[in-house]
Structure 1
Amino acid sequence: MIGLMEPIRLIIIDQHTGVRSALRIRLRSASGINIVASVDADEALQLAPGDFSPDVAVLGLTGRNDELKKMVALVEQLVEGGTAVLALSSYIDVVARELVLAAGASDYRLKNINTPELIAEIRLLAESHHQEWQDNH
């Protein structure tokens, strides 16, 4: 179980440098969250499962259909490695939502989520996913 002494290891994955930077700024003041990497999807797919051992990935989805297949594969890879995935999208896309949730993402939210809610969601996902991972392995 992730305790108060053990920070949540977070990876930010988004295709846009500006979005990654904004998320880092929003989350850097959150106590107990350690951002271990901030990369695009191609870089994330190249990471070995143990490279950062993140507890949670915040994954920004793009509106392009050609990217969706890559995002689904990335969700599967992250979940297989024991990482909870919070998918963020600029707008509601029912197909993308269903595909990433079916691939194992823990939640799908809009990118305009406020910072306290985002931090609470990350903490909740880390705790519940860590417990589920422990129970199954």
Structure 2
Amino acid sequence: MPDPIRLLIVDDHAVVRKGLAMVLRLESGLEVVGEAENGRVGLEAAKNLQPDIVLVDLVMPEMDGQEMALALRKSNPQIKIMMLTGTEVDDRVFDLIAAGIEGYVLKNIEPAELVHGIHAVVHGEAYLHPDVMKKVVGRLQPQQTAPVSLTPRELEILEYMSTPNTYKQIANKLSIGEETVRSHAKNILEKLKQPNRAQAVLAAVKMGLIDLGD
């Protein structure tokens, strides 16, 4: 049996923090190793506990979630980060995505979907709430860039990469193997010269390769 995913929860609201911890402790594949009430305490806890992933509230006193996430990305880049925010998507999402933060979800997310997102991020995938992706894409305008040649299958997978579907789910939808999807995704990232899934999707929108409008 694989080791459980080790989580640290950082949120200044005790009810939210402890509620998340209680829900996530019910999952057999997850282990909540710590809690912190602000970014300063959370940053030290992350360095000491070395969790697999940190769930970070965006708006906090002393050191907010953005500052903590960017500092943690520099000091401990191997630790995955998932940002938590209210029902409105904060403009800071643009800087966080540009910095390579892997996950961004709203606090009204269903517990099962949050668990799904945690697993996706820990296993090397990006996970952006659909409302986050819509806001980001809404700010983008196609730009003239050097042509990038993607195969029809790569374009199809790229469209799916813009959704919350994991690579395994994409494979099931396309009736192909998960490793095949991962291989295509790797080729897409290389062709677009992007470090991760989220930034590849944004680059593709800028290039006019895909259209995520309704």
Q: TM-score with structure 1 length normalisation?
A: 0.77
Unaligned ranges ≥5, structure 2: 126-214
Q: For 1:121, which of 114, 117, 121 is the aligned residue?
A: 117
Unaligned ranges ≥5, structure 1: 130-137
Inter-partner Cα distance in structure 2 for 1:111 and 1:32: 21
* 1:74 corresponds to 2:71: no
- Give 1:76 deviation, angstroms: 2.0
2:53 maps to 56
1:1-137 matches, within 5 Å, as 4-40=1-37, 41-47=39-45, 49=47, 51-62=48-59, 70-80=64-74, 81=76, 82-128=78-124
Asked if structure 2 preserves the Cα contact closer than 8 Å seen for 1:75 and 1:103, the reply is: no
Normalized per residue, the structure richer in strand is: 1
State the percentage of identical aligned residues. Answer: 27
Inter-partner Cα distance in structure 1 for 2:62 and 2:120: 26
Q: Deviations over 1:27-52 (max 9, x none)?
A: 11111111111112221133362x11
Asked if structure 2 preserves the Cα contact closer than 8 Å seen for 1:71 and 1:100, the reply is: no
Larger Rg: 2
Inter-partner Cα distance in structure 2 for 1:104 and 1:73: 14
Paired residue type of 2:67: A
Inter-partner Cα distance in structure 2 for 1:11 and 1:55: 8
Inter-partner Cα distance in structure 2 for 1:106 and 1:48: 16
Runs ≥4 in structure 1, deviation > 3 angstroms? 67-70
- Give 1:7 deviation, angstroms: 1.1
Cα 1:61–1:73 shift into 2, 3 Å = closer
Inter-partner Cα distance in structure 2 for 1:96 and 1:69: 15
The structure with higher relative contact order (CA 8 Å, sep 6+) is 1
1:133 maps to none
RMSD: 2.2
Cα 1:48–1:36 shift into 2, 3 Å = closer
Q: TM-score with structure 2 length normalisation?
A: 0.52
Inter-partner Cα distance in structure 2 for 1:92 and 1:102: 19
Inter-partner Cα distance in structure 1 for 2:24 and 2:90: 27
